Each structure stands twice: as structure tokens, then as C-alpha cells.
Chains A and B, each alone.
Chain A
Amino acid sequence: MEVEYSGDVMTLNMGPQHPSTHGVLRLELKTDGEIVAAAIPHIGYLHRCFEKHVENVDYAGVVPYTDRMDYCAAMNMELGYVLAVEKLMGIEVNNRVRCIRIVMAELGRIASHLIAAGTYGNDIGSFTPFLWCFRDRERILDMFEETCGARLLYNYNWIGGLMFDIKPGFEDKLIEFLDYFEPQVDNLNRLLSDNWIFIKRTAEVGILSPETAISYGVTGPNLRGSGVKFDVRRDEPYLGYDEFDFEIPVGQGEYGPVGSCWDRYMVRIREVKESCKIIRQAVAKLTPGDVHESIPKRIKPPAGEIYMRTECPRGELGYYIVSDGGLKPYRLKVKSPCFTVMSAFEEVSRGAMISDVIAILGSFDIVLGEIDR
């Protein structure tokens, strides 16, 4: 989009300390009054050399580091890693492990999408949805805590199995939670998603066309928000997701062009409901078994390489692992969904207003821990 500038361009550094950059991101805004001529993201403030670290620890020791990438959805982060290593070693896990992993991954997805929706409401200026979402997220974290003792960084998925089996009565709690939670999603819709001001603020800004989205490697809810029906769980199934019955919500552009901020936001809300469906099915499929059954004594994958990706709340998370047959990964590269979507930010936000920049950034739902690794 071509923008005509009427006066001097002012540089406004938004971040690294700013309430709504979702971490330590710096946006260099070139502003002409309220209009932003260019928004250049600067990342790396949270760089912790994850990829260098893991070259110096053994395979099992990598799991806690993966937790710390996307700390809002740590369950899903470690799941992707252990699946990659299992595939490299040719380990098959039993049905109980599979079902528990799916339950945990989907709970993690709900928890993460709740953060996304809540903070997005906050970005648009409505504070109440944030606390409503956190109230419900607390209950999920309580269940995680009951299972593995941690609320944020779990180290729960182990290569070949799980840290602990679920506690007796966990299934009932889960169903009770879902019964409570599903109506709450409708409440959130009434409060925020269908609010006229919210729609006005989000439904016509930040348009990401399907072609641009694919070219920028945008994945997950952000890609589906642009109307591309693609989900790794469906198109490249892992953990037996193909046996489950669930819909893939895509942006439909009810209130504006397809691929707007509202579409991306709404895809997440709809996904939460689908996750609830998956959890119910996974609980029904739960069979007795030993979750430590196939944990190898010594994790020493054969020399070779693998690229494995899973559907994380923020998009597809890929692990490229090179093994030299030793006890430590020779090279581990992470494909971070937030990293790729952030590279599209400059193009999407060109010519927007300052308020829109915040709206676009919030709708991408980034976590800086994962971008910077």
C-alpha cells in the first residue's frame, strides 16, 4: 500500500518494554501522526542460545529446554520434540500414552488460546476478558499441577513415555471441567467477539491474504484465519489424530475481508471448542497400560536426521534433528511458528494506524520465548 506522508516522519520505539508487545519485542515505528509508515520488528532480546545449549546436553535433558521456548504452551513444545526423537529411534508408544498425550496437548492448546484471546481483548482495550480467560486457564493449570507437579514448565512428556500416569479420578475432573468450560466460551463470545466496537477495531485491519501467508510460511491459526484449511493434525497426522473427529475452523470473513485480525482471533476461539471435542474422545479411548513401558534405558538414536512437525497452538512447530549416533544431538534446529509469522509483520502492518499495529501484533499471538529461543 502506498502512503503519502504529509510531514516529518517520527521514529517511535515501541518496546522492548511496552505493555502490549507480549514480551521483549522492539518495534521501530516510523510514524506520520497516527499513521505508521513502517513497523520494523527487532527481535533477539530473549535469545538464550537454545540451539547451542542442546548440543551440549543429552537427548532427555533437552526436554526441559523445549518447555522454556513457548512457556504458554510448554506441553505442546515438548510433545513435538519427544515425537521427533521417538520417530528417529523408531519407538512406538502404547495407546494409553498416546491418549494422555493428546489430552495434555489439547489442554495446553486451550490454555494457550485462552491467553491469546484474553490478551487480545486487553490489547483492544477491554480488560475483563483477560481475567475471565485466566480464571478458566487456572483450572487447566491446576490439572497439570495435579498430574506432574508443575504449573508452567512441565517436563511431562518423556522420550518413550510420560513422567507420571494420570491420577485416579482425573478423567472425571476433566469431564467436569469441560462441562463447565464450554458455556464459558459462549460467554466470552458475547462479551468480546461479537462486540460491535471489537469488530470495528479488528475486522478490517491486518489483512493477510492466503498467498502472502503461504509465502511467508505462516502456519497454524494465523494461516487458517486467512482461509487456508490446513492443519498438521489432519494433513500429516501424528499420535493417531486421524482417528479423531474434529473440524478445522477457518476464517470466513463474516465482518470484513478474509484474513483479518478478527478472523485470526475467531479461529482460535473455535479451535478451543474443537479441542474440547478431541479431549472427550481421547478420554473415551483411554485404556489401561503402563506409561513407562517403552522408555528406553539409554537414548542413543542412530546416525541420521529427521524433520518432524506438530501442530502447536501458535502454528506448526518443527524440529530438525541431526544425530551422529552419539548421546547428544549433533544439531537441533527449531522451526518456530512465531518467528515466521513475525517476518510477515512488516508487510501486514504497513500503512496502518498505531492502534492497528497493536491489534495486528496481538492477533498474531506471538511468544517471544519461541521467536528468540
Chain B
Amino acid sequence: MQSIAELLGLLPGYSSIPETYRALIPVVVSCVVIFACMALAVLFAVWLERKVSAHIQDRLGPMYVGGWHGWAQTLADAVKLLLKEDIVPASADKLLFKVAPFVVFLGAFAAFVVIPFGASSFVADLNIGLLYVFAVGSLSVIGIIMAGWASNNKYSLYGGMRAAAQIISYEIPSAIAIMTVVIPVGSLSLVEIVNAQQGGIQNWFIFRYPPLVFLGFIIYFIASLAEVNRTPFDIPEAESELVAGYHTEYSGMRFAFFFLAEYANMFLVASVATALFLGGWTWFVPESVVPQFIPGPVLFFGKVLALVFVQMWLRWSLPRLRVDQLMYLSWKVLLPASLALVLGVGWVTVYW
């Protein structure tokens, strides 16, 4: 944000804007930049998912739109969704029905402001960054319940209820698993956590106190899959059971917002995992050995993409769990395991 403020300062007449407004401008600009970047990334992810799934399934996927391997397919789909009729069911709760997709979308995108993409590429470095991510990320569950309830459709209601139960259950093990990183650093600020991992791959938290933090990473990754409703935890929108779950009744742009939010959420959990466990923007080896020649944000995005790819890979290989099995996994496996890890990491940090 500082660098954006400096860049803006170069604009002619910038300094003539009153001080009170001038403080706001960099915030707005950087938010717009983040939003644009994430929207592009999501479009790219949708295309990537199609190609990944296609190749896993022994087919080609989109090949025509835009020329090279159908790169413009998602753009074409976005245009199509924009132009589609916006249908609101006659018996739906109209206000909630219309607002719900934006709530989900807001929750997914607002969390990005604290993600440190590079050493200086972040909107805000909150000292409670992680807490903020979790709090804002949880907004989406409210949107999902709103959508499920307002659609006035039994399948949507089932989807909404399943989503509420699932997301809330899985937030607990994922939040506890993150403690394995927060305890050694002693801070909730994502920038500080990444800074603590400087100096090569051996300092990344995923390799710290082996295998304690590594297990924490695994727990976080599994729980985050459940939080973003990806297979094998895509129970809220289980297509073969609940038709499409909470977004059964949605069409056109409102459906697209759910879709964008899902992919933005994938990026969000992958970004958090990258910042916490995979060293964020930091380079693989100490600077003294090989200088970092890839810009930090690109490196960060590469790591995020690798995690997103794993999410896709899992989605196209695994079947779906049942509701009770999902709850069993959360409360009886992941939660005790993460608690034990926190105890282990705490003990190691204090007495080693």
C-alpha cells in the first residue's frame, strides 16, 4: 500500500487533494487492484479446472474459444451468464434471494486484503490478520444459508443446512491446526509469519519441528477443502443427491457469483496455506546462495496454484463422503489430532 501511495504521489495535482480524502485513495485503489487480480485469477482457475479435469478424464476440454487451448472459454461463459435472464422464483424470499450471492462473494473477496502477496504487496498488515481471515471467511456461510432458505426449495434448504453444519465444524480443526504456526511465531499477522520463514526452504513452517507442523498443514488442508465445499466434501451441493444444493434455483449472474466465490475461496485457503506453511513469497534457498530472481508475488502465486491444482486433482479422483462420515472425520479425527498437535508444538516451543 505504501508503494501505491508513492506511485500515486507522482500523479500531477495529487497533493492538492485534501488530506482526509488523500488517505482514502490508496486504500480504494489497492482494493480495486486486488479485486481485479483475484477476478482474473478466478477466471484462470476455472479454465484450469476444466483442462485439469479433462486431462484426468482422458479428454481435451475446451479447445476452440480464443484459439490456444480454448483460453477464452471462461470469458465467453462469463459473458453468457451476464446476458442470461435473471430468474427469481415466484415464491422465493426475494430480498434474501437477491442478496445472498453477494454476501458469499463478499466474504470470499474481503479476506484477500490481508494476504501478503509479496514483501510489500498487501493492502493491510493487520496484527490480527489470521483472525480477520477466519471471521470474514465465515461470512460466506451466512450467505449460503440465506440462499438455501430464500430459494424456497427443499433441495436448497438441505444444501444450506448441510453447508452450515459442515463449514462450522471444519472451521474448528482448521483454526486449531493454524495454531501450530502461530505459537512459534507469536503473532497473528500474516506478514510477520511469512517473515519468520525467510532464508530458504528449511525455514518454511511445513518443515519446522518435523513432523508436527507438517501434520498441522495436512489437517489444515483437509479442513480447508471442507470449508470451500470441494470434493470429497462437496456435500452441500452434492449434485447427485441435492441436484445443486443451495444454488439450485439460481441462474445467470447470481449463479456466476456463487461460482466466482467458490473459486475465490479456493484461492483464499490456498493463499493462507502458502503464507503460513509454504513460506509465502520467500525464495527456496538462502539469498546468499542463489539470489531470488523471481518477483515475490509471482512466486507466491505459483505456490498457490500448486495447492489449487492439488485441490482439483482430489476433486476429480475421489468420491464424496456421507454427512455422518464427514462429521465423524471432523469431530473425532481432525479435532483431537489438531489439539494434540497444538500441545506438541507448544511443548516443543517452550521447552526446546
Contact = CB atoms under 8 A, between A and B. Distances in A.
B320 A125 contact: yes
A355 B235 CA distance: 9
Given A12-B154, A125-B234, A353-B324, A132 B58 contact: yes
B325 A200 contact: yes
Given A10-B154, A131-B58, A122 B317 contact: no
A166 to B, nearest CB: 28
A127 B320 contact: no
B319 A195 contact: yes
B57 to A, nearest CB: 4
Contacts of A195: 318-319
A74 B155 CA distance: 35
B152 to A, nearest CB: 14
Among B57, B316, B324: residue with most chain A CB under 10 A? B57
B319 A358 contact: no
Contact of B56 (A123, A128, A358): A128
B231 interface: yes
A10 B319 CA distance: 28
B109 interface: no
B56 A20 contact: no
A197 B323 contact: no
Nearest to A362: B240
Contact of B57 (A12, A127, A200): A127
The range of chain A's interface size is 20 to 34
A314 B51 CA distance: 35
B241 A126 contact: no
Nearest to B325: A200
Contacts of A127: 53, 57, 316
Given A12-B154, A126-B317, A128-B317, A201 B322 contact: yes
Contacts, number: 78
A57 interface: no
Contact of A353 (B155, B318, B320, B323): B323
Contact of A192 (B239, B316, B319): B319
The 5 closest A-B pairs by CB, nearest first: A125-B320, A126-B319, A131-B57, A20-B240, A124-B319
Interface string A125-158: 1111001100100000000000000000000000
A13 to B, nearest CB: 8
B308 interface: no
B158 interface: yes
A127 B320 CA distance: 10
28 contacts: A10-B154, A12-B154, A19-B240, A20-B240, A20-B241, A34-B324, A124-B240, A124-B319, A124-B320, A125-B231, A125-B232, A125-B234, A125-B238, A125-B240, A125-B319, A125-B320, A126-B317, A126-B320, A127-B53, A128-B53, A132-B57, A195-B319, A197-B232, A200-B321, A201-B319, A201-B321, A355-B238, A355-B320
B57 A121 contact: no
B332 interface: no
Interface string A162-195: 0000000000000000000000000000011001
A354 interface: yes
Contact of A355 (B53, B155, B231, B322): B322
A271 interface: no
A135 B325 contact: no
Contacts of B154: 10, 12
Interface string A1-34: 0000000001010000011100000000000001
A191 B232 contact: no
Given A126-B317, A132-B57, A197-B319, 14 more contacts: A12-B154, A18-B243, A34-B323, A34-B324, A125-B231, A125-B240, A127-B316, A131-B57, A197-B232, A197-B320, A353-B322, A354-B158, A355-B238, A355-B241
B320 A128 contact: no
Q: Which of A34, A122, A195, A198 has its CB near the most chain B CB atoms (within 10 A)?
A: A34
A188 to B, nearest CB: 12
Q: Give the interface SS of chain B, mostly helix, strand, loop or mixed.
A: loop
Contacts of A125: 231-232, 234, 238-240, 318-320
Interface string B24-65: 000000000000000000000000000001001111000000
Contact of A19 (B158, B239, B322): B239
B217 to A, nearest CB: 21
Contacts of B319: 121, 124-126, 192, 195, 197-198, 201
A197 B321 CA distance: 6
A115 to B, nearest CB: 15
Interface string B103-130: 0000000000000000000000000000
A355 B321 CA distance: 9
Residue picked from A19, A132, A195, A353, most chain B C-beta under 10 Å: A19
A356 interface: yes
A351 to B, nearest CB: 13
Which residue of B58, B234, B238, B241 has the most chain A CB atoms within 10 A of its CB atom? B241
Contacts of B240: 19-20, 122-125, 358
Contact of B317 (A18, A123, A191): A191
Contacts of B59: 131, 135
Interface in B220-251: 231-232, 234, 238-243
Contacts of A355: 238, 241, 320, 322-323
A266 to B, nearest CB: 15
A354 B318 contact: no
Contacts of A356: 322
Interface string A201-221: 100000000000000000000
A228 to B, nearest CB: 28
Nearest to A34: B323
Contacts of B231: 125-126
B161 to A, nearest CB: 8
Nearest to A18: B243
A125 B242 CA distance: 12
Interface in B320-338: 320-325
Contacts of A201: 319-322, 325
B241 A358 contact: yes
Interface string B153-187: 01100100000000000000000000000000000
Nearest to A122: B240
B324 to A, nearest CB: 7
